Amino acid sequence: MGLPTIPCVTQEQSLTNLLESIALEETALAAFVNAEAEKIQAVAAQICGCQISHDEVLCFQKSVATVLKTAIKMQMLLQFKLENVLEAKLKLECADDC
């Protein structure tokens, strides 16, 4: 297997590509959190119908907490990534103006 070919793009285009990737990751993260919310609603309906035990509820709650912690960590990483890209874009624009 050979090395991947890396396309030749400008620095501005690479920063734009990074911004697009952040937006796509944010969209995926939103879908992920929405799916978790739907699971919570389904379990809440089972709780109201007394179809689930307290131990199962606690286990589910721990699972949700773990998933949401992961989502929060991803959100923080995306925020850092966005700040770095915007800072680089600002420096590039400043260099072009000077």
What distance in Å separates the CA atoms of residue 98 and residue 90, rounded to the nearest whole number? 12
What distance in Å separates the CA atoms of residue 32 and residue 26, rounded to the nearest whole number? 10
pLDDT value of position 24: 96
Q: In this model, does residue 65 exceed pLDDT 80? A: yes
pLDDT class of 92 with cuts at 50, 70, 90 = confident
Under a CB-based contact definition with an 8 Å cutoff, are residues 12 and 93 in contact?
no
Percent of the chain exceeding pLDDT 90 equals: 57
What's the mean per-residue pLDDT of the chain?
Answer: 89
Question: pTM here?
Answer: 0.76
Q: In this model, does residue 72 exceed pLDDT 90? A: yes
Q: Pick from 27-31, 55-59, 89-93 the range whose average pLDDT is largest.
A: 27-31
b vs e for 40-64, b when ≥16 Cβ sit within 10 Å of the residue's Cβ? eeebeeeeeeeebeeeeeeebeeee
pLDDT value of position 66: 94
Domain ranges (residues) in the chain: 18-97
Q: In this model, does residue 7 exceed pLDDT 90? A: no
Q: Angle at CA 10, nearest 5°, toward 5 and 11?
A: 105
